[in-house]
Amino acid sequence: MSATTLKPLDAIWLMLESDETPMHVGVLATFRKPAGAGTRFYADMAREMRAAEVVAPWNLRLDKGPLARLAADPGFDIDYHFRRSALAQPGGERELGRMISRLHSHPLDRRRPLWEFHLIEGLEGDRFAFYIKLHHALVDAVNGVPMLLSALASSARARRTPPLWAQPIASGSDGDLVEEYRLPDLAQAVDALGAVGKVAAGMLQSALRPSERNSFLFPRGTPKSTLNRRINSQRRFATQQFAVARCTALAEATGSTVNEILTYLCGSTLRRFFKEYNALPDSSLIGMMPVSLQERGEHIAGNAIAGIRVPLGTDVGDPLARLAAVKESMKKVRADRASLPAEAVTPYVMMRAAPLYASQLGALGRWIPPQFNLVVSNTHGADKALYFNGAKLEAVYPLSQLMQFSALSIDCVSYAGTFNIGFTGARDTLPHLQRMAVYFGKAVDELEERVAQAEVAQ
């Protein structure tokens, strides 16, 4: 296969990578062994996975040269990319979290195809896990969870499910993951330039309006926070899982949307966590939510670094008042989202994200004011249970890349009636990240209690 050039928005992730900010994402998936599985279940599964044919882009590595291109790796070694290990006893969530935190801290080797797969045995309750790490330049989505879910079976009876590297990576568009980049024709170029001009004019007007508080290019109102210090490559990871039905019931009881409830829960978690360390800013922490235009029939790569800023209500003490503040913030978000142009999506994203790109450039970065304090994302996963060789997928969690001056990402995925929350944090900045996962669960309990009290009072 000849070398193929990565799309510009994918190649940016390679440009932004440094020793302190590796640009890989990850997925942690836990499974329960099928009933009646024999003692050779893991050995047989590992043997079959190693023997599977490797297809593009899993067998492609970065090509030498000035352009970001992928080419076949003549020395591809499946034993380097596929690894089998076991947890220390008792094999609980703490031991799993420690292993995943360590694995996610190490950058990928650019001399090889940019991925690793870890089969992890020894989880308590007769369970095992997959941890997949791959470079964000290869993932055409906010995280790698949809990629994994698309490779699983919908039936417990299905066997010999091919591993990830035997299947092409599904793209968010009709095209391939990697493609030869071509310039648009003249008519497209004229339309794009006109759209970019309108976007630039709108941004300039926003910058000149003192009342504008939610401009991504000229942000105001982002408080100084512990989250916006310089970080290194070491990561911590924590998880939380709860029923979608609980979130839906809260949304109905409060006249909210599920996304508003999830945003509220993030804000409540952060408020409690940072108050404990006497590090809560006086004004609300700002979350950056990645933009998606897929529902409008317009392809924008999830790899694009752009999003909409959302105040999380961390400055409001009363839970119900905090929820009201979050709902008001989300109304503004929806209006901003609806105003995004359908034309010239890529130039728009590049322009809107310019300050974020600049903030990652060495010494220059410290002079760029933070656009947000953390990243918050919500991805639809799968509505029904999925399986790998008869083993039921019980939970799936995204692990994010972290950028300089942004030490936390809270990422939610819905799966089979549950919300699965992954907390990816910079180790030195957030030394007790597991508490954040605990506080997220308590925030659900707290809001349920306040809603029940309000219903009784009526």
Amino acid 179: pLDDT:
33
Q: How confident is the model at residue 61 (pLDDT cuts 50, 70, 90)?
A: very high
Q: Considering the chain, what is the average pLDDT of its residues? A: 83
Greatest mean pLDDT among 16-20, 193-197, 214-218 lies in 16-20
Q: How confident is the model at residue 141 (pLDDT cuts 50, 70, 90)?
A: low
What's the helix, strand, coil split of the chain in %, to 5? 35, 20, 40
Q: How confident is the model at residue 339 (pLDDT cuts 50, 70, 90)?
A: low
Amino acid 2: pLDDT:
59
For the chain, the structural domain boundaries read: 4-166, 208-381+401-457
**CA–CA–CA angle 318, 319, 323 (5° rounding):** 115
Q: Pick the closest to residue 218 from 9, 331, 367, 368 (CA basis).
A: 368
pLDDT digits 0-9 by tens, 422-455: 999 999 999 899 999 999 999 999 999 999 998 8
pLDDT digits 0-9 by tens, 204-239: 554 445 444 444 445 567 898 999 999 999 999 999
Q: Supply the residues annotated as catalytic.
A: 136
Q: Is it the case that residue 399 has pLDDT exceeding 80?
A: yes
Task: Classify the phi-psi angles of 221: left when phi > 0, otherwise alpha if psi is within -120 to 50, otherwise beta.
Answer: left
Amino acid 357: pLDDT:
67
pLDDT digits 0-9 by tens, 306-317: 567 899 999 999
CATH number for the domain formed by residue range(s) 4-166: 3.30.559.10
Calpha distance 370→228 (Å, rounded): 7
Same fold yes or no, 4-166 and 208-381+401-457: yes
Complete DSSP assignment for 80-113:
HHEEEEEPPTT--HHHHHHHHHHHHHSPP-TTS-
pLDDT more than 90, % of the chain: 60
Q: How confident is the model at residue 139 (pLDDT cuts 50, 70, 90)?
A: confident
Architecture field, domain 208-381+401-457: 2-Layer Sandwich (3.30)
Amino acid 170: pLDDT:
63
